[in-house]
């Protein structure tokens, strides 16, 4: 662990705690909280900022921390304009100071003055994080005016902080990308004409698509709450699951059956169930797909019944792409949302067209919608 010049034990404990929090951070908010605590404990910091989602040296997002409570007029750093020429001349540089910039760029002080006419700091240090040649994030640390230069221990702290923060940023970006992908899949399922529900062993829904909600409303009594399985579906399903536990619907297997509405016998519902592995049948997560039978006047229900066999011939990855194409997204937007290359998306769309026997995006949208 880094030790500054004879630090008190409380400071050492604070640094260790902040390091541990940085390593464990699962989102940008907790990462920044730990990072700011580390910097505040180890450096003569006036303020600091983490700038990310950088487009042409213009950060689209940022997190900020003001260590000097008395400087209420401090301006947030929201641009890298002061450093832009230096970064152009020094691609993939890992860290640099304002003094280094000014020694090579006579106009840098003027750009700084235009951005912040009277800063309460004299020097800044930037840690730059790259993805190849693309600048992904910058940690900007402004040093108190009274502090003329950093000590060897403080420089060692920055050298230690860089790989720690780089790894944490990569982890958080990956987790946030996964969360966005999961959200995109949920949004896709919600919009598709497919009545899908995810329920636990007690049949409590954790997810319901729009079409599933529509069918559940049609099967619910007036007194039943929206967002729950109607008793007309839940009761026979529970009896079936109790009889099937450990047999037909073991984790990873599928089964299906048909329910008749208790008040409207002509109205039936096909229920398809598949179970994700859990500690037991009771603790597994169950995916239910509902398809209304004998409901020919219901256009949306008929569409759902048609969509189900169509989607089954596609891989899970192709289903995501097909839904995004049907919703009107172009290839570039789909590639960005799913974090894949444009070439991969084009190949998957060709496969989707072939499997569904369609020749263009319009036909695919009509088929699924």
How many structural domains does the chain have? 3
Single out the residue in 286, 304, 322 at which a domain terminates: 304
pLDDT at 146: 84
Q: What is the 3-state secondary structure (H, E, C) of 41-55?
A: HHCCEEEEEEEEEEE
Q: Look up residue 219 and give its two tokens.
A: 């099967």
- Domain annotation covers residue 110: yes
User: What CA–CA distance (Å, rounded) separates 140 from 143?
Assistant: 10
In 210-264, at which residue ranges do the beta strands (DSSP E only) sit? 254-260
Residue range(s) defining the domain that contains residue 213:
192-304
Single out the residue in 279, 304, 329 at which a domain terminates: 304
- Domain annotation covers residue 278: yes
What does the pLDDT look like over 262-293, one tens digit per residue? 887 778 888 888 876 554 555 567 888 888 76
Residues whose CB falls within 8 Å of the CB of residue 344, separated by 6 or more in sequence, listed in order: 335
Single out the residue in 175, 202, 223 at which a domain terminates: 175
**Contact call for residues 64 and 140 (beta carbons, < 8 A):** no
Q: SS3 of 110, please?
A: helix
Are residues 159 and 13 located together in one domain of the fold? yes
User: What CA–CA distance (Å, rounded) separates 133 from 131?
Assistant: 6
Question: b or e along 319-357 (b: 16 or more beta carbons within 10 Å of the residue's beta carbon)?
Answer: bbbbbbbbbebebeebbebbebeeeebeebbebbbeebe
Are residues 272 and 207 located together in one domain of the fold? yes
Are residues 145 and 264 located together in one domain of the fold? no
Q: Is the dihedral of CA 108, 111, 115, 119 positive or negative?
A: positive
- Residue 266's Cβ-side half-sphere holds a number of Cα atoms within 13 Å equal to 4
User: What CA–CA distance (Å, rounded) separates 326 from 106?
Assistant: 54
Are residues 299 and 318 located together in one domain of the fold? no
Show the low-confidence residues of the chain (pLDDT under 50): 1-7, 246-249, 279, 294-305
Are residues 317 and 300 located together in one domain of the fold? no
pLDDT at 70: 58
pLDDT at 209: 85
Q: Look up residue 315 and give its two tokens.
A: 């891989």
Which H or E element spans position 326? helix 316-326
Which H or E element spans position 59? strand 58-66
pLDDT at 217: 85
User: What CA–CA distance (Å, rounded) separates 197 from 338?
Assistant: 23
What does the pLDDT look like over 137-196, one tens digit per residue? 999 999 988 887 888 999 999 999 999 999 999 999 999 888 887 777 777 666 666 788
Are residues 298 and 321 located together in one domain of the fold? no
Which domain CATH number covers 225?
3.30.450.20
């Amino acid at each position: 662990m880094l030790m500054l010049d004879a630090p008190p034990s409380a400071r050492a404990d604070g640094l260790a705690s902040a390091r541990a929090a940085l390593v464990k951070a699962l989102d940008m908010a907790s990462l920044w909280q730990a990072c700011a605590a580390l910097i505040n404990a180890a450096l003569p910091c006036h303020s600091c900022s983490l700038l990310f989602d950088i487009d042409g040296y213009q950060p689209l997002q940022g997190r900020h921390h003001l260590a000097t409570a008395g400087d209420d007029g401090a301006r947030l750093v929201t641009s890298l304009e002061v450093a832009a020429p230096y970064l152009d001349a020094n691609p993939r540089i890992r860290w640099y100071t304002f003094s280094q910039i000014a020694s090579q760029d006579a106009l840098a002080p003027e750009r700084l003055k235009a951005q912040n006419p009277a800063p309460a700091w004299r020097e800044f240090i930037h840690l730059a994080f790259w993805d190849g040649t693309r600048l992904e994030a910058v940690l900007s640390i402004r040093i108190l005016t009274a502090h003329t230069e950093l000590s060897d221990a403080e420089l060692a702290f920055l050298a230690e902080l860089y790989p720690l923060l780089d790894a944490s940023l990569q982890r958080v970006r990956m987790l946030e990308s996964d969360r966005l992908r999961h959200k995109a899949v949920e949004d896709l399922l919600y919009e598709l004409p497919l009545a899908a529900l995810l329920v636990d062993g007690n049949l409590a829904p954790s997810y319901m698509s729009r079409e599933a909600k529509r069918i559940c409303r049609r099967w619910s009594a007036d007194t039943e709450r929206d967002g729950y399985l109607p008793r007309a579906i839940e009761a026979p399903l529970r009896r079936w699951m109790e009889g099937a536990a450990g047999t037909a619907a073991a984790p990873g297997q599928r089964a299906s059956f048909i329910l008749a509405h208790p008040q409207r016998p002509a109205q039936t519902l096909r229920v398809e169930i598949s179970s994700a592995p859990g500690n037991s049948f009771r603790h597994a997560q169950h995916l239910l797909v509902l398809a209304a039978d004998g409901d020919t006047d219901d256009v949306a229900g008929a569409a759902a019944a048609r969509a189900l066999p169509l989607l089954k011939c596609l891989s899970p990855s192709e289903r995501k792409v097909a839904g995004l194409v049907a919703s009107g997204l172009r290839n570039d937007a789909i590639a960005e949302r799913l974090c894949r290359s444009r070439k991969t998306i084009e190949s998957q769309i060709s496969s989707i067209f072939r499997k569904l026997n369609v020749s263009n995006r319009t036909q695919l949208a009509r088929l699924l919608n």
